[in-house]
Amino acid sequence: MQTLSKCHAETADGLDYPEGLVHGLLDPGCATPALVAGPKGKAADMRFNVYRNNVTVSLIDALAAVFPATMRITGETFFRAMARFHIRNTPPTSPLLFEYGRDFPDFIERYEHAQSMPWLADVARIERAWLDAYHAADAAVLEAGRLALIPPEQLGDLVFAAHPATRIVRSAYPAVTIFSANRASGSVGRIDATAPESALVTRPALEVEVRLLPPGADIFLGRLIAGERLGSAAATASTCCPEFDLAFAIRTMLEAGAVGAIQHGG
Amino acid sequence: MPKLAIHADRSTSGTLRFPAHPIDGLAGTSFKHQHLQSILADGDRDHGFFEVHAENYMGAGGPPHAALTRIREDYPVSLHGVCMSIGGPQPLDKAHLGRFAGLVERYEPALVSEHLAWSTHDTTYYNDLLPLPYTEATLRRVAEHIDEVQEAIRRPLLLENPSTYVLFKESTMGETAFIREIVRRTGCGLLLDINNVFVSATNQDFSALEYLSDYPLEHVGEIHLAGHAEQEDDEGDRLLIDSHDGPVADAVWKLFDLVVGRCGPIPTLVEWDSAIPEWPVLKAEAKAAQAVLDRHAALQRGRMHANA
């Protein structure tokens, strides 16, 4: 139970009524605020509970809408309990609910009851990236034909404009396979993957696409969309990852619509 | 299947504007993205109008804007803000107001509305329409906020009456007196939510009819209808919840008939935001509202002929 002073602030100038209500909205330990009542001397506990319920349930629903695969993995009861903790700790700071849940994957990583699912936070990170891509600005993607026109000796100097939707999510677990199985309709079979996976999230037109990046391509693409030259991005990827295949990485990048126009060089 | 186009931002082209599409005397529905293909396949241009929650279109791009652009080409659109927090004491969020004004400019909606409620305090957004006391101090503050919104959008705002579950001990005036004075001070119009009137009247033990006869009906620019759910208060009496998750209640239809009889066929929206049915079900609710509007429009024409 909270102390009375924390639950109910004084209302002096007639304009601090939110201060009198908000603690009780997210904290069930706070009693019904003294500044509200029912009509004709009626009590206000059940009445105030309508607001408490609206706030908590609608925010849990908002997280459930952003993280459907995460919820499918944990089951609804587990997910809603976890979301309720997160909402109390980290309520939204923007009225745009599609911006909510950015801290949720980190919360999941620390959540004691989710420790047996170490890949769960990364699945949530892919889902958060999916929604960012969904709402990202519309922009043209680089057509494969444009790149074919560039003489091979000039390729290394190219710099690309990042496409606004493109996101890369790296995981030490097979998060892309788990994400894909749980976002698709139909039953989720046994997942045998064990290798680390990185996701490339793009939205070349109106559909968000999530694909598994080949080894080293996460490093290569990450550097490219940060504005590095193609040659130097490829060199770094090769150094970090001996299996890195530049031609395959470029093909994946073009198919996915991961970059915008050529910004420099060519 | 009808396709959506990307890069459909007509306003950036500077010349291509949307058709005007008058909204007078029409009934409409909430626009839900999952209904888009049914609406387009339906191709029923007789359907009145669509209302959208402004916040859902405050992202930079993607499917929401492509869908709304497509809808706006064929139908009048009403832009309904849900979280401006006009009823809160703290200053309006300037970034949010800017986004709201940007949508008004981009989509040229036939109607623009917001709520007499608050949802943000300090930096926390509570995602609910929270109540305020009705006092001189809140009246001044709400009027300032509405002035600020109307200045930003460069047109009158329609202010929606809330559904409430509690009253404030410090309130010094009734809701209708408060709303009447807001209209006088700001020149705003009103969105009369008849379901909210019925819900609040039941919850606060007053007469919906008396509320309506005291309410400045001459300033109503839009009507809302919606379904509600039922719970119990601490005394075991009926407590209605403004849930928007079912058909409009009979009692609300009766009040609607009465209001339209008094103020004529005002654009009317059927809201359905939760447990959303298939498109034909929602469309049928709007048709029922349209029939009421048409009946009163015909009566009105009859009276004008009789007087001519």
pLDDT digits 0-9 by tens, A86-120: 999 999 999 999 999 999 999 999 999 999 999 99
Mean pLDDT within A140-145: 93
Which pLDDT score is estimated for A215?
A: 95
Mean pLDDT within B14-30: 87
- Rounded to an integer, what distance in angstroms lies between the CA atom of residue A41 and that of residue B305? 52
Does residue A190 register a pLDDT over 60?
Answer: yes
On chain B, the residues whose CB falls within 8 A of the CB of A47 are: 165-166, 203, 233-234, 239
Does residue B299 register a pLDDT over 80?
Answer: yes
B2 touches chain A (CB under 8 A): no
On chain B, the residues whose CB falls within 8 A of the CB of A62 are: 127
Does residue B13 register a pLDDT over 60?
Answer: no
Mean pLDDT within B276-280: 96
A39 touches chain B (CB under 8 A): yes
Mean pLDDT within A134-138: 98
DSSP per position, A142-158: PPHHHHHTS-GGGGGG-
Does residue B49 register a pLDDT over 90?
Answer: yes
In this complex, the residue of A16, A51, A205 whose CB is nearest that of residue B128 is: A51
Q: Which residue has the tokens 């349209």?
A: B290
Cβ atoms of residues A183 and A222 within 8 Å: no
pLDDT band of A12, cuts 50, 70, 90: low
The angle at the Cα of A10, spanning A8 to A15, to the nearest 5 degrees, equals 105
pLDDT band of B88, cuts 50, 70, 90: very high
Average pLDDT, chain A: 93
A135 touches chain B (CB under 8 A): yes
- Rounded to an integer, what distance in angstroms lies between the CA atom of residue A155 and that of residue A234? 11
Which pLDDT score is estimated for A3?
A: 45
Q: Do B123 and A93 touch (CB under 8 A)?
A: yes
In this complex, the residue of A50, A98, A164 whose CB is nearest that of residue B165 is: A50
B250 touches chain A (CB under 8 A): no
Does residue A221 register a pLDDT over 50?
Answer: yes
A88 touches chain B (CB under 8 A): no
Reported as a single tens digit per residue, the pLDDT across A28-43 is 899 999 999 999 999 9
In this complex, the residue of B6, B66, B130 whose CB is nearest that of residue A21 is: B130
In this complex, the residue of B119, B234, B235 whose CB is nearest that of residue A95 is: B119
A231, two tokens: 């040659």
A18 touches chain B (CB under 8 A): yes
- Rounded to an integer, what distance in angstroms lies between the CA atom of residue B262 and that of residue B258? 6
Task: Mutate one of B167, B169, B203, B204 to test the A interface: name it (highest A CB count within 10 A).
Answer: B167
B307 touches chain A (CB under 8 A): no
B137 touches chain A (CB under 8 A): yes
A231 touches chain B (CB under 8 A): no
Q: Do B118 and A18 touch (CB under 8 A)?
A: yes
On chain A, the residues whose CB falls within 8 A of the CB of B168 are: 17, 35-37
A166, two tokens: 């493109």
Say whether pTM exceeds 0.90.
Answer: yes
A residues 99-128 lying closer than 8 A (beta carbon) to B:
none
Q: Do B141 and A205 touch (CB under 8 A)?
A: no
Mean pLDDT within B297-302: 91
Rounded to the nearest angstrom, the minimum Cα separation between A205 and chain B is: 6
Rg over alpha carbons for chain B, rounded to the nearest Å, is 19
A105, two tokens: 């994957």
On chain A, the residues whose CB falls within 8 A of the CB of B83 are: 95
Cβ-count burial A217-254 (b if 16+ within 10 Å, e if not): bbbbbbbbbeebbbeebbbbbbeebeebbbeebbebbb
Q: How many angstroms separate the Cα of B82 from the Cα of each of A32, A250, B117, B158, B265?
A: 25, 44, 9, 12, 25
Nearest to A228 by CA among A147, A143, A156: A156
Nearest to B286 by CA among B40, B22, B37, B46: B46
Rg over alpha carbons for chain A, rounded to the nearest Å, is 24
Which pLDDT score is estimated for A9?
A: 52
Cβ atoms of residues B78 and B49 within 8 Å: yes
Look up residue B34 and give its DSSP letter.
Answer: G
- Rounded to an integer, what distance in angstroms lies between the CA atom of residue B109 and that of residue B158? 12
- Rounded to an integer, what distance in angstroms lies between the CA atom of residue B80 and that of residue B115? 9
Q: Do B137 and A134 touch (CB under 8 A)?
A: no
- Rounded to an integer, what distance in angstroms lies between the CA atom of residue B66 and that of residue B2? 13
Q: How many angstroms separate the Cα of B2 from the Cα of each of A250, B5, B18, B72?
A: 33, 10, 19, 15
- Residues composing chain B: 308
Reported as a single tens digit per residue, the pLDDT across B130-142 is 999 999 999 999 9
Look up residue B1 and give its DSSP letter.
Answer: -
Cβ atoms of residues B161 and B131 within 8 Å: no
Q: How many angstroms separate the Cα of A17 from the Cα of each of A12, A37, B115?
A: 9, 13, 17
Q: Do A51 and B130 touch (CB under 8 A)?
A: yes
Does residue B3 register a pLDDT over 80?
Answer: no
Share of chain B above pLDDT 90, in %: 89
B residues 223-242 lying closer than 8 A (beta carbon) to A:
231-235, 237, 239, 241
DSSP per position, A17-83: HHHHHHHHHH-TTSPPPTTEE-GGG---HHHHHHHHHHHHHHHHHHHHHH-HHHHHHH-HHHHHHHH
Look up residue A99 and give its DSSP letter.
Answer: G
Does residue A5 register a pLDDT over 70?
Answer: no
Cβ atoms of residues A22 and A7 within 8 Å: no
Q: Which burial class, exposed, middle or buried, applies to B179 when counting CB atoms under 10 A from its CB (0-12, 13-18, 19+)?
A: buried
A210, two tokens: 């999530």
Which pLDDT score is estimated for B10?
A: 53
Reported as a single tens digit per residue, the pLDDT across B186-222 is 999 999 999 999 999 999 999 999 999 999 999 999 9
ipTM score assigned to the predicted complex: 0.93
Does residue B6 register a pLDDT over 70?
Answer: no
Which pLDDT score is estimated for B11?
A: 47
In this complex, the residue of A18, A45, A205 whose CB is nearest that of residue B234 is: A45
pLDDT band of A185, cuts 50, 70, 90: confident
